Amino acid sequence: MNTWLSRKPIPAADRLIVALDVPEAEAAKALVCQLGESVRFYKIGLELFMAGGYFELLEWLVKGGKQVFVDLKFFDVPETVRSAVRALAGSGATFATVHGNQAIMEAAARDKGDLKILAVTVLTSLDRGDLDDLGFACEVDKLVLSRARRALETGVDGIVSSGLEAPMIRQELGEKLLVVTPGIRPVENKPADDQKRTVDVAQAFRNGADYIVVGRPIRQAPDPGAAARAVQQTIAEVFS
């Protein structure tokens, strides 16, 4: 059952990344305070970036002893991406995402310093029908594996991948890349959910994830703190 369980020396409590997908920085801070010591790692993305106070929030999180995943999916000409990563490298962030071809990933890896760069493979909101619409005449798993191989060649630290493709990545590439898995759903998806390729917490790790990203199942829970602690308990049991 645990064939692909991560062997990287990551504390179990650090393997949960909570997505702060809220409208403004003060709401993000309120949620962080509500979750307290149950969460050590947070993702801040485009919604907060556009709301203002993004880098002040990043600094606040780092000063509070939290790890931060900057999920802005840098995608531009390689030199611009390299400059953006270089500027972010001194912020105290732990992870940042890039989304692009081999030259973009190589540029991101060039001046990253201690910042770990994650290459996005295929968004978990996409399925085969969506890939057809985008002009990719291949199955999702083939595209994910191709992008993972390219990521490894470029010197980035890891990838963002659905838990459904994680076993294939581990089989092909072993432990060479970090695998961060979003689209975590502890229960069956609701019809309005935009995530299509999902797994639950235990399955994600048994499939080879090093970290999971959880948003709505914690943020929208009646008691977010209890929901986060339940996820942490599951993670602790998987890695015990």
Q: What is the C-alpha to C-alpha distance for residues 67 and 95, in angstroms, rounded to an integer? A: 9
Phi and psi dihedrals of 60, rounded to 5?
A: -60, -45
Two structure tokens written together for 68 = 């931060």
**C-alpha Rg value of the chain to the nearest Å:** 17
Catalytic residue among 73, 112, 176, 190: 73
73 is catalytic: yes
Contact 208, 6 (CB under 8 A): yes
Contact 228, 37 (CB under 8 A): no
Residue 97: partners with Cβ closer than 8 Å, 6 or more residues away = 69, 70, 71, 72, 73, 74, 117, 118, 119, 120, 160
Q: What is the C-alpha to C-alpha distance for residues 142 and 45, in angstroms, rounded to an integer? A: 27
By three-state DSSP, how is residue 100 classified? coil
3-state SS string for 202-234: HHHHHCCCCEEEECHHHHCCCCHHHHHHHHHHH
Residues with a catalytic annotation lie at 73
